[in-house]
Structure 1
Amino acid sequence: MRVFSLRLRLVLVILPPLLLLSVLLGLWRLNAAERTSEELFDRSLLAAALAVSRDVAISGGDALLPSTRGFISDAGSGEIFYHVTGPGGIYVTGYAYPPRPETQTQTGEPAYFHADYRGEPMRVLRMAETHTIGNLTGETIVTVWQRVSDRRAFARELALRAAVLIAGLMLALALVIWFGVQIGLRPLDDLQEAIRKRSPDDLGRIRRPVPKEVAGIVSTLNRLFGQVKDSIDAHQAFISDAAHQLRNPASALLALAESLPGVKDPAERETRQRDLIHAARRSARLADQLLSLERLRYDTAGKQTVFDLNEIIDEACRTLAPVVLSRDIGFGFERALQALPVLGDPVLMGEALTNLVENALHHGGPGMTRITVSTALQDGQVLLTVQDDGIGIPPDQADTAFRRFSQLRNGEGTGLGLAIVEQVARRHGGTAGLLAVERGTVLRLVLPVHAAPGA
């Protein structure tokens, strides 16, 4: 799709309505010119008729004054014809065979009408007055007429002058708009040049003064710069933390792998192999958690489906049970009696439960004897709870526990497990929190229940 420049857009938006207005104004001016021409020429006819009537009365019908003849010959840019009859209808002066009205006019009042004279349309004024000519006293009829074409030519001249004036104004206005818009957009050109000169690492706020019409764009751009900067800072911090956390498992793996060939004792060699496998599993688990956390942070278009939380948690508990029971720790799942429909990603929800259970195993301590997973529906919300009876996490460090790679009071790191749990809860429109209990730890996810349409 073709994109026009902003200046051309403004010109196209402003000029067409003005052109339409100028056309309407021109039509109105033409009509007004015709009315003006008609009124002026009718007054000229009346003036000519009165002048002829005066001269006839003064001279007794003998002749017209020179001034009257000059006026009649060229009045209002058009020749005026005249005809005068005295009492009894006798011819007095003027042109022969004047135009006559189709209908009888009232005596004593000037009457205007249109008629043809020698094949041309004429505008005619017929006026009757009482005069004494010689020894006769009676009605004197004065008829004056003028070509309609003269009137129309005069009206066209008036309209043409107005059209030339309107066209000149429109041309001047178009030039003013074209160059005025360019001058008005100059601050945007300066802003563009300032942004172009910025380095890729400069994400600071734009502080250049701009017109209020684009202040909203600059404000939005500044907000975007701030969000990008925060995202880059968080990403760099995450990479730094991940590199630091992966260094220790990698070093342990390398040390175990290098020492393994030199071990001759079978029992010692078997112990080293188990330690190597354990370290490899921890490294793989940490790498999986890093990938999961990144996917939660940036993959906002993950699949959304409606699933029963009971089924997902039941399947995840069956997978986790052998790991928990192998450490001689009781493990149970208290399932809600009703279905718990949730809109989201069932894989992520299973990952969240895995992290909750692993967190309990990691921080529960040697005295922990049981881990219980439960689901429930309370006040229109779905609850997923993982409780253990171990040492747990101190309640005053609840906020710290959900930050990645943070250190708790007992000196142990939280890793990524609870950070992933919190991100999963947010992805599903819920929250994750630590509940205060006398012994052990209770971690709970609160999720919105999915209501079917029409429910």
Structure 2
Amino acid sequence: MINHGSLRLRLFILILTPLVLIAALLGLWRFMIAQKTAQELFDDSLLSAGLAISRDVAISGGDALSPTTRSMIRDASGGEIFYHVTGPGGIYVTGYAYPPAATNPSDQEVYKPQFFEALYRQEPVRVLKMTERVTIENLIGDATVTVWQRMADRNAFANELSIRAGILMGILLATLAIVVWFGVARGLRPLLDLQDAIDLRSPDDLSEIKRPVPIEVQGVVRTLNRLFGQVEKSINAHQVFISEAAHQLRNPAAAVQSMAEALQDAKTDDDREKRISELVAAAKNSATVAEQLLSLERLRQPTHQDQMEKSDFRSAVEEACAEMGVQILAKGIEFDVTIPETAVPVLGDRVFLIEAIKNLLDNAVKHGGTMLSQISVVLRCDGKYVNLTVTDDGAGLSPDQSEAAFNRFSKLEHSGGSGLGLSIVSAVAERHGGMIEINQVERGASITLELPIVL
């Protein structure tokens, strides 16, 4: 038995896996947004610091920054700010020496703030360079303010944003996983209740399941109910068959026993020979009934595709007629067979097909009566079907007797048959997608077996 694992676990994985993937994509997106947000915030803080420094230098006339400005810059920037200020003519005013320079100076407007990345003391930094027209004492010219900040401070801020978002997302996923795990268990509760209800049933209880179940499980319950019905029907059919088979086998067995006892009491050699012949006939009849019962039981089994193969129905007719022809001719009955010269392909079980043909011929012999003198077999193709017709001039059989003739163990009149021959033919026809019918004739009986031809 193949174990496919827990349904609860499978549902849990199926539900949670796409959510985890989406969370991973959202995490990547959130990290990129955090990087961009940190870039924008720190650039804005650099710009604010640059403007504050520029105004403070202009107001103080080139002196160092006031403590208030320094405190404001440090608090607003989120990290240490470095600056360098030059006045008209490139004269150093205040700040740190040797500011970082752009690797590839741009050709943009002179008075437009320039952002770029560079190295300062072997550390990557983000730099803002801005130039303004200023007046310092009696000097009028361009003053340049260069402000920079370590990239590590920015990355730390971005990482902090990403970690906070990741922690929040992890908490949400963990909460969702717990909810899904217990939610799936609660959702599967009706299935477990259904299992418990079925476990409480006895092996003989094949009645329908009437327990209310969710819509998703109703198809399974309908299938189970249909299966229960089929199993119950099959069990009843087996019981009926066993009962009828026991009844049918009782008579041949009693006949064999009676003949054997009569053989023991035979007084003369002639009487003994007569009893032996009767015993042999009774034994053959008993064997025939047993064989037909076994054939019926095998025909009751479901048809598997690997048992059906393409074969020549014409050769099956020839084989059956050759085997039965000896017995028919030995009884002094005229036997005529008409078959086409070309092969007739059909899809089926060759053994069953031959057995059906032999039963048709055997039925004609056993039920023809004393008036039987001729049996004819005609095989002809009619479009997509092949028809095998067995006709005799015996006691006769009309179409209105079809139901009784094709039922198991039924006999229209007293004969040496078991009442199983035509029911076997009917079962073979049904198994092969064909049909059997009794034809209306003026004298005797005519039965046609029709099967589809394989092209």
Fold agreement, TM-score > 0.5: yes
Question: Which residue identity lines up with residue 176 of structure 2 in the other structure?
Answer: L
Counterpart for residue 43 of structure 1: 44
* Structure 1: distance between partners of 2:63 and 2:354: 125
Residues 1:245 and 2:245 aligned together: no
Residues 1:80 and 2:84 aligned together: no
- The answer to which of 66-75 and 43-52 deviates more is 66-75
- The answer to which of 254-263 and 72-81 deviates more is 254-263
- The answer to which of 160-169 and 85-94 deviates more is 85-94
Counterpart for residue 400 of structure 1: 404
2:293 to 287, 290, 294: 290
2:327 to 320, 323, 328: 323
Secondary structure in 1 matching 2:20: helix
Counterpart for residue 128 of structure 1: 131
Structure-2 change in CA distance of 1:429 and 1:137 (3 Å): same
User: Is the contact between residue 432 and residue 446 of structure 1 (CA under 8 Å) also seen in structure 2?
Assistant: yes
| TM alignment of 1:216-235, pairs within 5 A | 216-235=219-238
Secondary structure in 1 matching 2:149: strand
Structure-2 change in CA distance of 1:282 and 1:148 (3 Å): same
Quote the offset at 1:121 in angstroms: 2.6
Counterpart for residue 154 of structure 2: 151
- The answer to which of 379-388 and 14-23 deviates more is 14-23
Deviation per residue, 1:5-47 (Å, 9 max, x gap): 2222233334343333333322222221111111111111111
1:378 to 369, 377, 382: 382
Counterpart for residue 32 of structure 1: 33
Counterpart for residue 201 of structure 1: 204
Question: Which residue identity lines up with residue 45 of structure 1 in the other structure?
Answer: L
Counterpart for residue 92 of structure 2: 91
Secondary structure in 1 matching 2:38: helix
* Structure 2: distance between partners of 1:358 and 1:73: 114
Unaligned regions of 5+ residues in structure 2, if any? none
* Structure 1: distance between partners of 2:113 and 2:292: 108
Structure-2 change in CA distance of 1:349 and 1:83 (3 Å): closer
Structure-2 change in CA distance of 1:346 and 1:111 (3 Å): closer
- The answer to which of 44-53 and 97-106 deviates more is 97-106
User: Is the contact between residue 125 and residue 143 of structure 1 (CA under 8 Å) also seen in structure 2?
Assistant: yes
Deviation per residue, 1:304-344 (Å, 9 max, x gap): 55544444333433433343344443322233343333443
Question: Which residue identity lines up with residue 91 of structure 2 in the other structure?
Answer: I
Counterpart for residue 318 of structure 2: 314
User: Is the contact between residue 399 and residue 437 of structure 2 (CA under 8 Å) also seen in structure 1?
Assistant: no
Counterpart for residue 447 of structure 1: 451
Deviation per residue, 1:384-424 (Å, 9 max, x gap): 1111122222321212211111243x577871000111122
Deviation per residue, 1:69-100 (Å, 9 max, x gap): 21123333202222333333333333334334
Counterpart for residue 67 of structure 1: 68
Secondary structure in 2 matching 1:300: coil
User: Is the contact between residue 372 and residue 395 of structure 2 (CA under 8 Å) also seen in structure 1?
Assistant: yes
User: Is the contact between residue 433 and residue 445 of structure 1 (CA under 8 Å) also seen in structure 2?
Assistant: yes
Structure-2 change in CA distance of 1:112 and 1:406 (3 Å): same
Secondary structure in 2 matching 1:392: coil
Secondary structure in 1 matching 2:303: coil
Question: Which residue identity lines up with residue 320 of structure 2 in the other structure?
Answer: A
Deviation per residue, 1:212-237 (Å, 9 max, x gap): 33332222222222222221111111
* Structure 1: distance between partners of 2:302 and 2:124: 86
* Structure 2: distance between partners of 1:99 and 1:379: 98
Quote the offset at 1:238 in angstroms: 0.9
Counterpart for residue 7 of structure 1: 8
* Structure 2: distance between partners of 1:247 and 1:363: 22
1:357 to 353, 356, 361: 361
Question: Which residue identity lines up with residue 20 of structure 2 in the other structure?
Answer: L
Structure-2 change in CA distance of 1:92 and 1:203 (3 Å): same
Structure-2 change in CA distance of 1:419 and 1:115 (3 Å): same
Quote the offset at 1:271 in angstroms: 4.1
Structure-2 change in CA distance of 1:396 and 1:2 (3 Å): closer
Question: Which residue identity lines up with residue 313 of structure 1 in the other structure?
Answer: V
Structure-2 change in CA distance of 1:447 and 1:172 (3 Å): same
1:341 to 341, 345, 354: 345
Structure-2 change in CA distance of 1:158 and 1:362 (3 Å): same
Question: Which residue identity lines up with residue 20 of structure 1 in the other structure?
Answer: L
* Structure 2: distance between partners of 1:309 and 1:114: 91
Secondary structure in 2 matching 1:37: helix
User: Is the contact between residue 248 and residue 418 of structure 2 (CA under 8 Å) also seen in structure 1?
Assistant: no
Secondary structure in 1 matching 2:77: coil
- The answer to which of 357-366 and 297-306 deviates more is 297-306
**Pairs aligned (count):** 450
User: Is the contact between residue 363 and residue 393 of structure 1 (CA under 8 Å) also seen in structure 2?
Assistant: no
- The answer to which of 326-335 and 146-155 deviates more is 326-335
Counterpart for residue 141 of structure 2: 138
- The answer to which of 351-360 and 438-447 deviates more is 351-360
* Structure 2: distance between partners of 1:321 and 1:120: 110
User: Is the contact between residue 74 and residue 80 of structure 1 (CA under 8 Å) also seen in structure 2?
Assistant: no
Instruction: Note the aligned Cα RMSD (angstroms).
Output: 2.7
Structure-2 change in CA distance of 1:2 and 1:208 (3 Å): closer
* Structure 2: distance between partners of 1:264 and 1:303: 54
Unaligned regions of 5+ residues in structure 1, if any? none
2:439 to 435, 444, 447: 435
Structure-2 change in CA distance of 1:280 and 1:60 (3 Å): same
